Amino acid sequence: MNSHTSQAGGKLPVGVRFAARAARGIARRRRAPALHPSGVSCNGVLEIHPAGLPWGEPWLDDPGVYQVRLRWSRAAGLPGRLPDALGLAVRVYDAGGPDRPLDLLLTSSGSGPWTRHVPRPRLDALAGPYSTLLSYRIGDRAGTLAAHPVVTSPFVPSDLAGLRGTLQAAPVTFHLCAAQPGQAWRALGTLTTGPPHDLPPEDTVSYDPFTNRLPQLHPTARFVKLREAAYAASRAGRRADRPEP
């Protein structure tokens, strides 16, 4: 799909085309994603613990244990001595059934009703939650998903060496939560990381919350065209200089 054309075949708005062009150019120069170009990957386990009223999404309403692949990264790829927004990408294998994964892209943020929607640069990687920033459709409700770290260390450096060292030293635990607009967080389950591992480029996971979604758990329509175009353009930029197979 041309990054300037929507899946329906129509022209994208000017702002969306600009974002797509910028994402493609940055990814081509970096030969890496436009955002979160470098990260530390690991496997992990996500345990879902239903509590309270049902959400209307079977994955959240039924207890379960899922294997996950995580990538902890710096959003802008700034030098480690500078604060940067941090990303926590999570692929939940078989969330929608066999071979139907769910991808969640979380970014360091605040926890309040408004700050949970705003990226927050950090020097301490576990100083606060990681949220989806934009709203999700959860069953028949709108809400925001977030991973709240269980802090066991006084300070976790947010550079890649610090993130890797933290994963090597001991498992990191996050509480996966959701919140409806203006309401408090509600626990969904527990995410536990494993040790870091290096992946060759061909095995790097490409996380996509629009493709890997659940029928009753997915980003809302707001800003979808902008984000879809930026993701597609970033992938196209990474492939631009590769020889055809």
The CATH number of the domain holding residue 113 is: 2.40.180.10
Query: In the beta sheet, which residues pair with residue 186?
Result: 178
Would you place residue 23 in the very low, low, confident or very high pLDDT band (cuts 50, 70, 90)? very low
Q: 164 vs 112, 158, 242, CA distance in Å?
A: 29, 10, 29
In a domain, 244, yes or no: no
Burial class (CB in 10 A: 0-12, 13-18, 19+), 207: buried
- Give me the phi and psi of 2, to 5 degrees please: -65, 135
Domains in the chain: how many in total? 1
Q: Tens of pLDDT along 100-140?
A: 999 999 999 999 999 999 999 999 999 999 999 989 999 98
Would you place residue 37 in the very low, low, confident or very high pLDDT band (cuts 50, 70, 90)? low
In a domain, 21, yes or no: no
Q: Tens of pLDDT along 143-195?
A: 999 999 998 778 999 898 999 999 999 999 999 999 999 899 999 999 999 99
In a domain, 20, yes or no: no
Looking at the predicted structure, is the pLDDT value of residue 14 above 60? no
Would you place residue 5 in the very low, low, confident or very high pLDDT band (cuts 50, 70, 90)? very low
In a domain, 14, yes or no: no
